[in-house]
Amino acid sequence: MTSPAGTSSNLIQADPIREIDDREAWERFQAHAIFLDARRSQEFEVGHIPGAFSLPVWEADLEDRLFHVLATRHPGPEDPIVIYCSGGDCRDSHLLAMKFLARGDYRLLVYRDGFPGWTAAGRAVEKGRK
């Protein structure tokens, strides 16, 4: 739909979940965005993006972990939240984004290259539980 002046209308809201590339993930990291790791706990312990929260989408305590992130960081609708998994064909980050979106209005960014992209770029990695 266009207005009489030919500009597009803002009637259609942007998708609340958007994929981002490695460059944007790095920019968000430098800006202290919240990072969520959707991989299983064992993978997280072996290595993860520094400061990331472990929210394994297939584990039974996911709801408790979601609550912990919300209580700890208090993200608002304008605060970007970056979600990643193993990249490639892994859909866990998208599943986690849908679960997070169901809890409210958030700006969710799925890092499509995931943890493999992060390590391939030679970026710092943390190990252990958080």
Ordered structural domains, the chain, with CATH:
17-120 (3.40.250.10)
DSSP 89: T
C-alpha 41/C-alpha 96 separation (Å) is 14
Count of all residues that appear for the chain in the document: 130
Q: Give residue 122's region: left, alpha or beta (phi > 0; psi -120 to 50).
A: left
If you average pLDDT over residues 11-37, what whole number do you get? Answer: 87
Q: What is the pLDDT of residue 4?
A: 41
Pick from 97, 117, 95: nearest CA to 24 = 117
Highest-confidence segment of 10-24, 66-80, 109-123: 109-123
Tell me what the pLDDT averaged over the chain comes to.
87
Pick from 61, 66, 44: nearest CA to 125 = 44
If you average pLDDT over residues 86-95, what whole number do you get? Answer: 92
pLDDT at 68 over 60: yes
Which phi and psi (to 5°) does residue 7 adopt? -85, 155
pLDDT at 113 over 70: yes
Place 32 in a pLDDT band, splitting at 50, 70 and 90.
very high
